[in-house]
Structure 1
Amino acid sequence: MDFRHLEKYQPQLRALLRIVTALLFMEHGLAKLVHFPVPQPGAPSPLPPLLLAAAIIEVGGGILITIGLFTRLVAFICAGEMAIGYFLFHFPKSFWPIVNMGEAAILYCFIFLYFAAAGPGAWSVDAMRMKAPAP
């Protein structure tokens, strides 16, 4: 079966991936910061400075990536946060991601690296800013 006809929808599909990923990422930060929709399992209260910084990046980065503002820079920062989180909290438990529960961190890291390189796709503030006439 040939799926090349879907290529014309790449900008829209990239935007959907950006929006869904960012909203899920933001949920992790909200669970840490304000216990919404539930408290982050295993997160101490109050949050130590490193987890507080991670939560701020997750909420702020999630918002900016969702709307597609400064997408490349913010996605690069979020990818770095996930790489650091993986190696500090998951990798020491086991080499295998299925054992150390680090699959989500790895996926977020590489999806955000993709957005840092590929840009936001359609339906983004960045795309609107690029189309705006220069003053």
Structure 2
Amino acid sequence: MLTFLQSKSPWAIGVFRIVVGFIFFCHGTSTLFAWPVAPYGGETAALGAWPSWWAGAIQLIGGLLVMVGLQTRLAALIGSGSMAVAYFWKHQGDGLLPIQNDGDSAALYCWALLLLVFIGGGKLALDNVVGRRRGCVTDAPVEDKVAEPVS
């Protein structure tokens, strides 16, 4: 059973990346365009307004890149950093724990995106297609090999 699950992990990572990227993207479209729902407070961010418009742009562009798996690690790193800033800047002052300070989503996005920085995009990522065309190494996981004892 464990071997079966391990063989499917690149697919699970790909699905995880797509879902996280899509929801992050939706936060950006909400902040910038009030779609699919208006942001908290009801108004979209004014063009260039700090920090709301910039956060929305990072969420929109970063979420799209993560979702399709293009420059996944870089987009996830920038997105993760922006969520860490959002958590400590906006939420941390309202309470110690994310459940107290309404920072649950910022904390979860920060850690989910940081995980993608380390594990890559998995299957169904455009990074894999671009990497193959350029002859580069893709995000395919490296198999753990046990070294044989030296006699």
- Give the match for residue 32 of structure 1: 31
CA distance in 2, matches of 1:46, 1:13: 34
- Give the match for residue 146 of structure 2: none
Identity of aligned residues (%): 32
Letter in 1 for 2:33: V
After superposition, where does 1:53-92 map in structure 2 within 5 Å? 53-92=54-93
Gaps of 5+ in 1: none
1:76-104 residue CA offsets vs partner (Å, 9 max, x unmatched): 00000000000111111111111111111
- Give the match for residue 97 of structure 1: 98
CA spacing shift, 1:37–1:45, aligned 2, 3 Å: closer
- Give the match for residue 127 of structure 1: 128
1:23-60 residue CA offsets vs partner (Å, 9 max, x unmatched): 10111111110101111113655443211000000000
Q: Is the 8 A contact 1:32 1:43 kept in 2?
A: no
Q: Report the TM-score when normalising by structure 2.
A: 0.82
- Considering only aligned residues, what root-mean-square deviation do their CA atoms show, in Å? 1.6
| Structure of greater Rg | 2
Gaps of 5+ in 2: 136-151
CA spacing shift, 1:53–1:46, aligned 2, 3 Å: closer
Q: Report the TM-score when normalising by structure 1.
A: 0.91
- Give the match for residue 20 of structure 1: 19
Letter in 1 for 2:64: I
More helix per residue? 1
Q: Would you say 1:10 and 2:9 are equivalent positions?
A: yes
CA distance in 2, matches of 1:59, 1:14: 21
RCO (CA 8 Å, sep 6+): is it higher in 1 or 2?
A: 1
